Each structure stands twice: as structure tokens, then as C-alpha cells.
Amino acid sequence: MISNIYKVFFLALLFSAWKIFSRRYLHPLSRYPGPFLWSVSRASYATAYAQGKLHKRIQCLHDQYGDVVRVAPDELSYRTEEAWKDIHGPLRNFPKDMRFYHASKSKAPSVAVAPDSIHGRQKRAILRAFSVSALQSHERLLRPFVDTLVRMLHPTDGKKENVVVMTEWYNYVIFDFMAFELFGESLHCLEKGTSHTWVDMLYGSIKGWAFLSQSKYFPSLSWVIKAALFLFRRDLLQHRSTKFTSVASKVSAESVSESGDPGFGTYMRAADMSYLHCVLQESLRMYPPVPLGMPRVVPNGGAVVSGQFVPENTSVAVASWATYQSSSNFKDPQLFLPERWSDTDAGGDDVKGALQAFSMGPRGCPGRSLAFGEASLILARLIWAFDLELSPQCSNWADQRAYIIWDKGPLLVKLAPRS
């Protein structure tokens, strides 16, 4: 009996050794650089993901190994402009890696994961909502919510300043507006000064999805991962409980019309404020909405990505955070420099095409224009109405974990009404 156990153990050990050896030295991706443990097992990748530190780990790996890194036995990570075009461009547009994405149980194809034939039809219908005339309609609906935001942020009881959690108030105005836009009724977060259960459930479900998606990479352990999430991280599925001065002065100077009134009453007027647009661009580089790579699968026959052939069925992704924080793409990448996006020589050496915060190609986000319009109008109104000062206790606020999107902490900002 004991000898049989030893035999089984020896065979399992031999099989594991062969699997490790073949993945490291015989696999089609063996010629790509990367750490040993990451190349023979997805465990290191999954662990970093579960800790919310995957974006930082991949950044470190790129700094060590270069512009392309093998981050799993069957996955490559990139940080070049060329990789964006090769993976997401209109002539390539690799299919999405459905181990990472989530399809509905009904199998109804959402616009995020629909096959190309269906996605094209869906996107053509959606694009009508982002035409110039449609944006003007969105703007008329948004302005009252921005007015309410500014009014609610003003100090009360004769106070000269007010310290608020801006992360929450940004959520209030956006979700109130979008709910009214889509369903004809606001969630009333702004008036109440509190979040809505649906909003909290949305953020919790995104974080839960980040954990559940890992179960697809380990089919034999899928039930264990799901059970562990339910037992130990049930909270994810329930209700969620320095440049300011210089930026404000420059944006404010653009905001004043000859009459002394704000000159940004519309999306179009706000869009004409060039420095404001530079601030938003640099903000997306420093704090991208999705800091992780969104993996695609190389189609049959393989393809050339960033100048090198990649075999079919390989998962490939451009790591947003690593790309935007790379000195090979941006000079002084850790510094917040809106001027790099202006017509001056400040960003002359930057690879600006490496920034694709809304992705690119046929599956790029169609709401880019609306997002810029909303952000421009809200930011301009806030800077016009208040002097903003970051609370000292939030000096490291941007040092966050990420589960698909950022796991934001409270952003405390002191607001003082401007005369």
C-alpha cells in the first residue's frame, strides 16, 4: 500500500517536473523574456491580481525585461504604441480572451463581448448617441446636475471652507446624470449627499468579477475559488460601506470671458479651453480608468505584434499603467505635466500614441467625446467656483490597489469659495 502511494507521488512529481520544463523551455513562448515562476504557472499572476497589485508587478517586470514580457505560460504583456495598433487596430482587432471577460448567463451578446458581426451593428446604433446634436442634448441634461453639485459643495453655517470627499461627489453627479439620461429619473445622490445602493452594488460586483474571472484560468479549482470568494470576501457582493494651484490658475484664466462670467457653459466652449484638455489628457495618463491590460487572443495562424511573431491562441495585452509610466514612452513619467500635450516642445520626445485610455480600433470606447465633455464641464465649474487644496492625509491617495478598475479610497479636498 505504502509503495503504491510512493509510486503515485513519484509519477505526480515527474509529471509536474516535465510540465514545468516544457512550459519554460519547449513552449512556443519560451523565447520571450519573463520571470521563471510566471512563465511556468499562472499562480504568481493570480496572486498579484488578488492582492490588487498586478499593475505594479507588471510595471516592475517591464522595467526589468523590456517592452514585452511573458507574464503567464500563455500570455504576453506589452507597453508600446505599436502593440496597441497590432492588437486593437482596425485591420487586426484580435478577439477578446473570454477567460478575462464576463458573458451573461443568458448568452445574450452585450456590446462589450459580442462577436464582430453583432458588435458592428450594436456600435452603429450606439454611435448615434454621441453625435454633435446628441452631445448638445446630453449637455442640457447635465448642466442642472453640475449646478446642484456646486451648490451642495458650498460651505454652510457661515464657514469659509469645506472639506469633502470628492470621490463620492464625483460619483453622485455622474450616476445621477446617467440614471436620468438612461431611465428618466435621477438616483438623487446629490440632493441626499449619499450614495445609492445600486451604485455600491456596481462597484462591489466589478471587484467580485475580478476575483471570479480568475476561476476561469483554473477550471479544476473553479469551485474552490468561488466558494472562497463567497465565504471570505462576501463584502464584495454586498453594499460598500500638488498641482492644484498652478493648474487652477491656468484653467481659470481660460475660463473668463470679456464679461467676467464663466466662458464654459457648453461642451463646445469647454472643449476650446486647450490647457483644460491637456490637464484631462495628463490625468488619464497618470490615473487611467483601467490600469490593467485587457487581454485579446491571437487568431489562428498567429500574428506579428510589436515586430515579433506570436503564435495563435496566445493571450496578449497592452498593460496601461506600465505603458503610461514608462520612460521609453514619456519623459519624466512620474511627473504630472499637462504641458506635454500642448503645442509647445514640452512633450516633443513623448510617444503620445502610447496613451489610449479609451482603447482604440473598432472596439474602442464610443463614449470618449461624452466623457471629455462631462469632465471638462465639471472640472471647469469647480475650479471657477472654488480654490481646491488636497488634504495632507491624502498625499499618497494615488497609491491604490486595482481590481480591473481602481479601488479608490476617500479623496479629501478642502474647498474655499472664490470671490
Check residue 242 and give its pLDDT: 41
* Percent of the chain clearing pLDDT 70 (strictly above): 85
Residue 144 has pLDDT above 70, yes or no: yes
Judge whether 347 and 279 are in contact, CB under 8 Å.
no
DSSP 303-370: EEETTEEE-TT-EEEE-HHHHHT-TTTSSSTTS--GGGGSSSGGGTTS-GGG--TT--GGGS-TTHHH
Distance CA 231, CA 129 (A): 42
Residue indicated by cell numbers 446617467: 178
Distance CA 39, CA 35 (A): 6
All structural domains of the chain: 74-195+240-417 (1.10.630.10)
Average pLDDT over residues 170-199: 92
Judge whether 171 and 195 are in contact, CB under 8 Å.
yes
Averaged pLDDT score across all residues of the chain = 84
Other CB atoms within a 10 A radius of the CB of residue 75 amount to 25
Reduced to 3 states (helix: H, G, I; strand: E, B; else coil), residue 13 is helix
Lowest mean pLDDT among 61-65, 120-124, 208-212: 208-212
One-letter amino acid identity for 346? A
β-strand partners of 308: 305
Phi/psi of residue 69, nearest 5 degrees: -135, 140
Average pLDDT over residues 175-184: 92
Residue 70 has pLDDT above 90, yes or no: yes
When pLDDT is cut at 50, 70 and 90, the band that residue 241 belongs to is very low
Residue spans of alpha helices (H) in 23-131: 36-40, 43-50, 54-65, 81-88, 116-127
| Listed residue (133, 371, 352) closest to 271, CA to CA | 371
Judge whether 273 and 262 are in contact, CB under 8 Å.
no
Q: What is the pLDDT of residues 10-57, one digit of tens each?
A: 777 887 888 888 889 889 999 999 999 999 999 999 889 988 999 999
Average pLDDT over residues 70-98: 92
DSSP 268-282: HHHHT-HHHHHHHHH
Q: Tell me the CA end-to-end span of the chain in Å, nearest whole number.
A: 87
Phi/psi of residue 120, nearest 5 degrees: -60, -45
Residue 263 has pLDDT above 70, yes or no: no
Check residue 256 and give its pLDDT: 47
Asked whether residue 189 is marked as a ligand-binding residue, the answer is no
Q: What is the pLDDT of residues 197-238, one digit of tens each?
A: 888 888 877 777 777 777 778 776 666 666 666 665 555 544
Check residue 244 and give its pLDDT: 47
Distance CA 289, CA 75 (A): 22
Check residue 226 and give its pLDDT: 63
When pLDDT is cut at 50, 70 and 90, the band that residue 320 belongs to is very high
- Provide the total of helices (H) and of strands (E) in the chain, helices listed first: 16, 11
Check residue 262 and give its pLDDT: 55
- All three cell numbers of 293, joined, read 491590460
Check residue 1 and give its pLDDT: 62
